[in-house]
Amino acid sequence: MSGESSAGNIRIFDTTLRDGEQAPGCSMTTGEKLRIAKALSDLNVDIIEAGFPAASPGDFEAVQAIADRNLGPVICGLARCNAGDIEKVHAAVKGADRHRIHVFVATSAIHREYKLKMAKEEIIKSAVGAITMARELCDDVEFSPEDASRTELSYLAEVVSAAIEAGATTVNVPDTVGYTVPAEFDRLFRYLQEHVERIGEITLSVHCHNDLGMAVANSLAAVSAGARQIECTVNGIGERAGNCSLEEVVMAIKTRAEYFGLQTGINTKRLYPTSRLVSSITGMHPPRNKAIVGENAFAHEAGIHQHGMLQHASTYEIMRPEDVGLSKSNLVLGKHSGRHAFRARVTELGFDLDEFETNRAFQEFKKLADKKKDLYDGDIEALIMSAGNTSSGPWTLKSLAVQTHSDEPATATVVLIGEDSVEMSKSAQGEGPIAAAFQALEQATGVEMVLSKFELRSASIGEDAQGEVTVTVEIDGQSFRGRGTSVDIVEAGCRACLEVINRTLRRRQRGESKGDTVRAARANI
């Protein structure tokens, strides 16, 4: 089989920034996407699908910014089978030395009849036309027959053959709606290899969704049946129940190397830091019991397990926490820690800060260390993530005062500083401190919003732990997520809200009205 990556014989195609971003509430700014792209490059993924450039000017800009950094992995963009989309992908990705155009069209009967209203032959014609055009612009072209797992096998083989004839270099087989099961998917991959003559000339790829909780199992079945590229996302984020989880599929191949006889080029020590980065940015935190990166993944509570572990770790541990980048000592720094120690820990946690960002984060660290005796990894991560958010204004929170009494409405006063350094102070009342503070923020900034979700988690341990708040708010009929951190949870909520307000105001300044344009564009496919 062709298509081996330089360091392994399985290519890891990461689509966190494209399919992952399509998860509700996971929209990211260009700056956030760049941070994730850098982390993916440190993780040593083979391909980064950076976005869907035709979806919105913001998407185009993000893909282009990532490609222009030339981070090392192949940079890929998604396109429907039309000239406009393909040209946009090419324009966005061409800055990277190695780039790819990924075109797709649905092939299943249900999509043909109800979504595309196209006959089988028309779909093949459209795919062939798009691949031919993409190949004129780029040597590396991937084709995906969307909803492949629900497509008639003989027709799927026909489509795949036509795609290869037209010049596709990778053919991806998506289980778009997470419908297949491992044995059936194994048959599908074997069928394609038996019925598509030139299949050995291309890289065969797999792309699974997790609607029935089998995305990783189905991807592994495809790999056993000959797929050599796996499409996946960090923490398994993605539409609905998400995509195949990168960390799970990679660690399955590594841990069961004697079974699969395959390897990826992933630097597995970067798995945990990358997972933390993605969850901090998206506000989607993996459940405690999530394999590989969940809080409990390496915790052994039961006495019998602990006893066994003390005798020999391999009694109950099939992977070592260090192999996925989980540090053993969580207690890190304190008031007397210097800049050097701080910087070293920050790098270990997977952040790549420049001089300016390091100085700013170190100042915040010193302020926090005055309030809190012990600083844990979670505190440092929370601090860096929130320092990144507030940097881009127009408003910063100077102070917040809240008065509550169990029998009366709460009163909150916020003082904000604008870009022109002018202070704005507003007070408001509400049922509880959060409602009062949010109303004060609305009045001060003029941005109206409806709070639909308020999620609070502790960034580390102890009663002085920082609270990490993720808010979901509706503005102009669209949903946005923001996050904020503070040892005061009302202030953390205000910071989270202000992050969304700032993003909204910046977007309005740029004249953009749409928030989640990726899903909007996809709805029109």
> Which residues of the chain form contacts with Zn ion (CB under 5 A)?
19
- Round to whole Å and give the CA distance between 439 and 418: 18
The smaller minimum CB distance to ligand KIV, of residues 144 and 472, is found at 144
Binding region for ligand KIV (CB under 6 A) out of 5-13, 172-180, 386-394, 464-472: 172-180
Q: Which does 502 bind (CB under 5 to 8 A by kind): Zn ion, ligand KIV, none?
A: none
> What does the DSSP assignment read for 58-109?
HHHHHHHHHHHH--SSEEEEEEESSHHHHHHHHHHHTTSSSEEEEEEEE-SH
Q: What phi, psi does 144 have (nearest 5°)?
A: -125, 120
Q: Give me Rg for the CA atoms of the chain.
A: 24
Q: What minimum distance in Å lies between the beta carbon of 182 and ligand KIV?
A: 18
Q: Which is nearer to ligand KIV, 85 or 377 (CB)?
A: 85
The position carrying tokens 């926090």 is 368
**Residue 176 in the binding site for ligand KIV (CB under 6 A):** yes
Length of the chain measured in residues: 525
Between CA 315 and CA 332 the distance in angstroms is 29
- H/E stretch holding 483: strand 478-486
Residue 56 near residue 514 (C-beta atoms within 8 A): yes
Q: Which is nearer to ligand KIV, 177 or 262 (CB)?
A: 177
174 near ligand KIV, judged by CB under 6 A: yes
Which of the ranges 169-177, 382-390, 394-402, 440-448 carries the binding residues for ligand KIV, by CB under 6 A? 169-177
Q: Minimum CB separation from ligand KIV for residue 176, in Å?
A: 4
What are the residues facing 429 on neighbouring strands?
Answer: 411
Judged by CB under 6 A, the chain residues 197 through 226 that form the site for ligand KIV are 207, 209
Q: How far is CA 414 from CA 229, 268, 419, 433, in A?
A: 51, 44, 16, 12
- Specify the pairing of strand 47-51 against strand 11-14: parallel
Buried b (16+ CB within 10 A) or exposed e, 487-506: bebbbbbbbbbbbbbbbbbe
Q: Which of 40, 41, 85, 104 binds ligand KIV (CB under 6 A)?
A: 104
491 in contact with ligand KIV (CB under 6 A): no
Please state, in angstroms and rounded to a whole number, the distance separating the CA atoms of residues 99 and 250.
23
Residue among 81 and 416 whose Cβ is closer to ligand KIV: 81
CB of 415 to Zn ion, least distance (A): 45
- Non-local CB neighbours of 284 within 8 Å, separated by 6+ positions: 23, 25, 26, 235, 237, 278
Residue span 4-43 as binding mask against ligand KIV, x where in contact by CB under 6 A, dash where not: ---------------x------------------------
Letters for 128-167 (x = contact with ligand KIV by CB under 6 A, - = none) are ----------------x-x---------------------
Q: Of 111 and 345, which has the nearer Cβ to Zn ion?
A: 111
CB of 105 or CB of 494, closer to ligand KIV: 105
Question: Binds 144, which of Zn ion, ligand KIV, none (CB < 5 to 8 A, cut-off by type)?
Answer: ligand KIV
Give 23 or 368: the residue with its C-beta nearer to ligand KIV. Answer: 23
Pick the closer one to Zn ion by CB: 238 or 325. 238
DSSP letter at 235 equals G
- Residues within the interface to ligand KIV (CB under 6 A): 19, 104, 144, 146, 172, 174, 176, 207, 209
